[in-house]
Structure 1
């Protein structure tokens, strides 16, 4: 730290303070990066928390609606033969994709919870990117292949479409607690 000349002149203690300031200034430069990181960190927590809430409440419920209401309604209304076979193949594919997507989500969920709480996380970014890409592909396939077919099949008989609407409404209608007299 000090040179022989510093000792001879008595500058060593002053030089030590100067070297300390260099270290302090480096740390201050790093600390000055913090404000730019606060907004992205808050946004990461917000995105993770929103995704957790949305997927648990909306997406899993959406899958159940399709599997318990839509797919059976379309299958029951499909004409025997090639049309019904096509509906079965499509519904099976979509159901299998639901299970794969749900499984992938469950692998991501614990780390997303950590992100939402602002904790250190080892979120598998590649898994997250695969999940997003697979879900986009799933939704696109359903929109292009299954839903137009469902519309055609259920649209043939208005009561079939109405029955599906009523069934979905009943499934999601708020339940009032029973009152006893």
Structure 2
């Protein structure tokens, strides 16, 4: 099965880089929601709109939840015992955002499913803009405020285990 996180230069042997690569895809697919709104306004729920909606659905239904599990079940628990009070607070905020983003995704998901079914009235510009801005802002915050600490606080063995857990979650081997 195609690993939606894998790139030619990033592997599970470099788990923080893999998480960042996932964020690049988050930004890409979140932005596609706004592009989709513009396309649907001009062309309706045509084949291109349906294909775009399906690609967003596939990414955020499969890869994004795995990414959140990577963080919530592996990265953050590994960091918390080593973290300052400030970093712990940031991690708590980020984990709460995961829940908020999950709820936002459910709204976008319903609109995309309606689009795939031929209803071109459900995905509003406002909802798409919110989704296209909140997910990338969240990813940037993780990259700026948490990931640098993973490279400093976690040793090679912990990072290797993180990569193995991420791979196993996707049915891959490191």
TM bin (shorter chain): 0.5 to 0.7
Question: How high is the TM-score relative to the length of structure 1?
Answer: 0.65
Calculate the aligned-residue CA RMSD, in Å: 2.2
By relative contact order (CA 8 Å, sep 6+), the higher-ranking structure is 2
Following superposition, the deviation at residue 168 of structure 1 comes to 2.2
The aligned residue for residue 91 of structure 2 is 91
Matches of 1:72 and 1:109, distance apart in 2: 29
Determine if contact 1:108/1:124 at 8 Å carries over to the other structure: no
Matched residues, number:
132
SS in structure 2 at match of 1:102: helix
Runs of 4 or more consecutive aligned structure 1 residues displaced over 4 Å after TM superposition: 37-40
Matches of 1:144 and 1:114, distance apart in 2: 36
Q: Which runs of 5+ in 1 are unaligned?
A: 1-36, 176-181
The aligned residue for residue 123 of structure 1 is 123
Question: How high is the TM-score relative to the length of structure 2?
Answer: 0.67
Matches of 1:105 and 1:165, distance apart in 2: 26
The aligned residue for residue 31 of structure 1 is none
Determine if contact 1:65/1:168 at 8 Å carries over to the other structure: yes
Note the alpha carbon deviations across 1:98-138, whole angstroms, 9 max, x for none.
11111011112122112123234322220111111011111
Higher-Rg member (1/2) = 1
